[in-house]
Structure 1
Amino acid sequence: MNTRLTMAATAAVALAAWGVLGSGVAAEKAVQLPLPAQDEKATAPTETAVFAGGCFWGVQGVFQHTKGVLNAVSGYAGGDAASANYDTVSTGRTGHAESVQVTFDPKQVSYGQLLRIFFSVAHDPTTLNRQGPDTGTQYRSALFVNGPEQKRVAEAYIAQLDAARVFPSRIVTQVAPLTGFHPAEAYHQDYATLHPQQPYIATFDLPKIANLKATMPDLYREQPVLVAAQGKG
């Protein structure tokens, strides 16, 4: 929905049109989840993982506030390079999902711990091609895995959570090989931090960050690691 990109005043109109302002609809509540029974073994100083869970603004914001995350970039995964731009992806016909590429230090935070955050506070993994007011395949829940170890851990954790019935419905998260990640336009980066009063951010994304702080304080960092700060200093 291109209306999601407007400034605060227009965004308020868009949210009213969606019927969410004053309706009590807000970000998904955090779900208390067990730790993954299986996890990766840290073998490299840094690692990357790609997560898709609806609008990338909120997913990026959550991971930017996660300890051990070195960078979190909004972008597109699942389609080809030629169609990796916001207007085209927004048609829902490119195969892309709005995604976040997370670079992390596996000695500080494991892939399994990032999965726990992803399923608990970053999005609702039981809704097919929808998160909040956003609908379409570009908003699907997906894990674009970087190799067999991530695939093994991701699939095992999904099976573990489904078996424990921690959600009222089965998890619909797609696990797919990462064939390419394409950073989104500059105006999408650090969006939750730069526009905290924008109605969409205040309604759907800031509560996710607050849920991270409340439910996993050991993994929460107060100051986010921002894309804009990379390479400076």
Structure 2
Amino acid sequence: MNVRPVFALLTLFSAMTLQAQPKPASSHEFATFGGGCFWCMEAVFQRLPGIIHSTSGYAGGTTANPTYEEVCGHGTGHAEVIRVEFDPAVISYEKVLEVFFEAHDPTTLNRQGADEGDQYRSVILYENEAQQVAAGKAKLAAQANYSDPIVTEIVPLKKFWRAEDYHQDYFNQHPNQGYCTFVIKPKVKKLQDHGVIQKK
């Protein structure tokens, strides 16, 4: 009996079986934080190696399914935040926080530049104890770069609410819009010139 065809068939079946096995669960992690307008933060982190995806949204308040208008009305308690999915094999949570503190002024209470209101507050929303500890250490380390005290809040993430579609990927979609031209572009360029983020 010629066993070669049988062996070849078994080999092919084994290969097909291996390919059909479900892939391991994703090892990606998430980080949620706010530091002013979420358009700005999103534009920065979209240019950071290791960031898989970023989503603009609202968190830190009490109102369910908040709208942009409600958040701007200061009655929800929510901050404008972004939630990033990142690959810890490429970038650590600690590095994400380091860039977060470089990407905004964490010493101004409820304000970033001309954007004023509690929705623009500096806040890190941790998802587990490890993130809470890392956030505390990052805040302490960042303080060395500022003469004024850092006012960044470190609070647990209870619920992230995705912002309306028109807020997503805003800078890339509207690079010539006024706010993008005069606020976001200079911020992105400064961080690119300092080697903090990549050009895109």
TM-score by length of 1: 0.72
* Greater radius of gyration (CA): 2
- Asked whether 1:145 is paired with 2:126, we answer yes
- Asked whether 1:185 is paired with 2:126, we answer no
Q: 2: CA distance between counterparts of 1:173 and 1:214? A: 25
Aligned to 1:124: 105
For residue 135 of structure 2, the aligned residue among 140, 150, 154 is 154
- Asked whether 1:112 is paired with 2:94, we answer yes
Q: 2: CA distance between counterparts of 1:203 and 1:108? A: 31
Matches within 5 A, 1:18-29: none
Aligned to 1:169: 148
Count the aligned residue pairs. 175
Aligned to 1:35: none
Asked if the contact 2:101/2:142 (under 8 Å) is kept, the reply is: no
TM-aligned CA deviation for residue 222 of structure 1: 3.5
CA RMSD, 1 decimal: 1.4
For residue 76 of structure 1, the aligned residue among 30, 38, 58 is 58
Q: 1: CA distance between counterparts of 2:162 and 2:50? A: 21
- Asked whether 1:60 is paired with 2:39, we answer no
Task: Give the letter for the 1:214 counterpart.
Answer: D
Q: Higher RCO, 1 or 2 (CA under 8 Å, sep at least 6)?
A: 1
Q: 2: CA distance between counterparts of 1:124 and 1:104? A: 23
For residue 197 of structure 1, the aligned residue among 176, 179, 183 is 176
- Asked whether 1:98 is paired with 2:80, we answer yes
TM-aligned CA deviation for residue 81 of structure 1: 5.2
TM-score by length of 2: 0.83
Q: Look up the SS of the partner of 1:171 in the other structure.
A: coil
Aligned to 1:135: 116
Structure 2, unpaired ranges of 5+: 1-25
Task: Give the letter for the 1:113 counterpart.
Answer: K
TM-aligned CA deviation for residue 100 of structure 1: 0.1
